[in-house]
Amino acid sequence: MSKLNPILAGSAQSIDAYQQAIAQTSQAVAQWLQQPEMYQGKSVDELRERITLDFNEQGLGNQAAIERAIEYFLKDSLSVHHPQCVAHLHCPSLVISQAAEVLINATNQSMGSWDQSPSATIIEIKLIEWLRAQVGYGAGDAGVFTSGGTQSNMMGLMLARDAFFARQGHSIQQDGLPGDVRRYKVLCSENAHFSVQKNMALMGLGYRSVTLVKTDQFARMDVADLKAKIAEAQANGEQIMAIVATAGTTDAGAIDPLREIAAVAAEHQIWLHVDAAWGGALLMSEKYRDRLDGIDLVDSITLDFHKQFFQTISCGAFLLKEARHYELMRYQAAYLNSEFDEEHGVPNLVSKSLQTTRRFDALKLWMGLEALGQKQYAEIIDHGVTMALNVADYVETQPTLELVMQPQLASVLFRSRPQQMAGSDDAAIALLNQRVGDALLASGGAHPLYQDVDGALYVLPTSRERDESKGQADIQIKPYGQAGYSVIVEVDLLADGGSTVTGVESYAFPYEFLEDRWVFTDFHLIY
């Protein structure tokens, strides 16, 4: 491959370089996807030492630069596509989403104006119309694609603030924040996303403007406490600009009672925004759609497609019920959205977004819907929720595991609570689970070790080579801190058909290799 690095263009040299670069990288990804580990297990210090920059005057050329990216980035990346990658909301991506990324990157469209992205603008508008229909909003295109939940939440809170002051005859856009801002509040649950506080700080109102509402046993907003917090604010002479409900909390996947909250918001004429970044996928569901009951009543919505819609990052959306509120953030720029163009029906997306230059991420959702169809998309989403319910049922049968909360989405909140630590406090249990999680990541897999109902230990090999004589399965879990217990054990496979497990004590267990893992029978983990 030539060391020249031409800009992508229609020349034969450029097209050839492009095709070679894409082929080289796609081949590397295909190999990376087949690695047995979820993560190669390098520590922060190891990565700092390993990764170096190699810039020089002549350059390395495309091939060498790609090879270095494969070696120092790809090989040491967490594989979200691995079946054992759990406990994070960023998802394995659809194949069609990867194809869409090629088109997005190659065309390099900016959604700042129609003349920069003619077909892309129309596709995004039509998708917004479609999403509004799924929610139950009226006809229209009030909404925009965003980088993700934090930006969408920012837009909801910003427009709620501006609408609040507009009703008082004050323009935030023109005159800024008025008077004593300590009087103004936003309400959200204790389990709401941290971006509520972050965005209120960015808007000049500070963390103190956010009042946290208590949650019930299912981590959902307590409506009784919401009413109490509103009454308390009114008694203190404070004014509430917005309520933020959550449809899918980060940890528990909890969905606030949207219809009840909407009734409270309507009674007090308070803007209601719903952060449905996690749970918004249920809009597509055939089995669990009713868990979003009342979402059509809210003023604005956050959606994320790089979670349970299985799209690549970034891909989110903001939906606004009443298009008239967009006037609160309108800005005219002759080179982007001139009044002349708008008068002649030219679409304008820049006034709907916090960004000017913006990727055409809507293409990924469009292609995903066309490739899978709504029914298959719904089946994938429903399968995740159903599987979570099944996992929760399994956890409840295990004497050493504790189900923290019943799943409401495709996430299961549970922890290890061994019988030997029945009398331990929450701090000790939390420490145990933290160290187990650390050890699992360091081992290269999320679940290399677990105890089945029959007392068998299942261990994933550290290599795809299944040579029983070499002892491929090894796990090291060391004693930690002052808790006085061993969190993990060492497992060494022996060629004679036995094994040695070293922890608090040593034991010998028979083992065999079944399918893709070592199985030790009559195993009991010692804490």
Q: Which two tokens stand for residue 194?
A: 């941290």
CA distances from 64 to 3, 31, 515 (A): 9, 18, 38
Instruction: Look up the pTM and report it.
Output: 0.81
**Are 152 and 224 in the same domain?**
yes
What is the pLDDT at residue 441? 63
Tell me the residue type at 449: L
375 domain-assigned = no
481 domain-assigned = yes
525 domain-assigned = no
**Are 164 and 209 in the same domain?**
yes
What are the pLDDT digits (tens) for 304-357?
999 999 999 999 999 999 999 988 887 756 666 667 777 778 888 888 888 889
Specify the range with the lowest mean pLDDT, choosing from 76-80, 136-140, 287-291, 483-487.
483-487
pLDDT bracket for residue 481 (50, 70, 90): very low
**Are 302 and 184 in the same domain?**
yes
What is the 3-class SS of 434-455, one letter each residue?
HHHHHHHHHHCCCCCEEECCCC
CATH of the domain at 352: 3.40.640.10
**Are 329 and 249 in the same domain?**
yes
What is the pLDDT at residue 115? 84
Residue 507 has pLDDT above 50, yes or no: no
Q: Which two tokens stand for residue 467?
A: 């040579």
What is the pLDDT at residue 504? 31
Q: CA 409, CA 253: separation in Å to the nearest integer?
A: 5
Q: Are 405 and 412 in contact (CB under 8 A)?
A: no
Residue 426 has pLDDT above 50, yes or no: yes
* C-alpha atoms less than 13 angstroms from C-alpha of 369 in its C-beta half-sphere: 14
Q: CA 161, CA 157: separation in Å to the nearest integer?
A: 6
Which is higher by pLDDT, 219 or 446?
219
Residue 408 has pLDDT above 50, yes or no: yes
pLDDT bracket for residue 520 (50, 70, 90): very low
Mean pLDDT on 224-228? 98
**Are 74 and 144 in the same domain?**
no
389 domain-assigned = no
400 domain-assigned = no
**Are 424 and 461 in the same domain?**
yes
Our count of domains for the chain comes to 3
Which is higher by pLDDT, 28 or 518?
28
3 domain-assigned = no
**Are 154 and 124 in the same domain?**
yes
**Are 181 and 326 in the same domain?**
yes
Domain membership of residue 493 as a residue range: 417-520
* Range 39-74 burial, b when 16+ CB lie within 10 A, else e: beebeeeeeeeeeeeeeeeeeeebeeebeeebeeeb
What are the pLDDT digits (tens) for 177-202?
998 899 999 999 999 999 999 999 99
Which is higher by pLDDT, 239 or 518?
239
What is the pLDDT at residue 338? 64
DSSP code of residue 215: B
**Are 129 and 198 in the same domain?**
yes
Hey, which residues does 274 pair with through a beta bridge?
245, 301
Which is higher by pLDDT, 331 or 33?
33
Tell me the residue type at 312: T
2 domain-assigned = no
Top mean-pLDDT range of 92-96, 451-455, 481-485: 92-96
Mean of the per-residue pLDDT values of the chain:
82
Domain ends where: 34, 58, 88? 88
Residue 119 has pLDDT above 70, yes or no: yes
**Are 61 and 110 in the same domain?**
no
Q: Are 254 and 220 in contact (CB under 8 A)?
A: yes
What is the pLDDT at residue 54? 80
What is the pLDDT at residue 444? 55
Nearest CA among 165, 147, 196, 506 for reference residue 305: 147
**Are 270 and 306 in the same domain?**
yes
Residue 505 has pLDDT above 90, yes or no: no
Query: To the nearest whole percent, how much of the chain has pLDDT over 70?
Result: 80
Specify the range with the lowest mean pLDDT, choosing from 229-243, 351-365, 446-460.
446-460
**Are 246 and 298 in the same domain?**
yes
pLDDT bracket for residue 471 (50, 70, 90): very low
514 domain-assigned = yes
Specify the range with the lowest mean pLDDT, choosing from 59-68, 89-98, 349-358, 411-420.
411-420
Element containing residue 415 per DSSP (H, E): strand 413-416
Q: Are 204 and 177 in contact (CB under 8 A)?
A: yes
Residues 6+ apart with CB under 8 A from 89: 250, 278, 307, 411
> What single string gives the DSSP state of each residue in 249-308?
-TTT--B--HHHHHHHHHHHT-EEEEEETTGGGGGG-SSSGGGGTTGGGSSEEEEESSST
Q: CA 272, CA 213: separation in Å to the nearest integer?
A: 14
What is the pLDDT at residue 337? 60
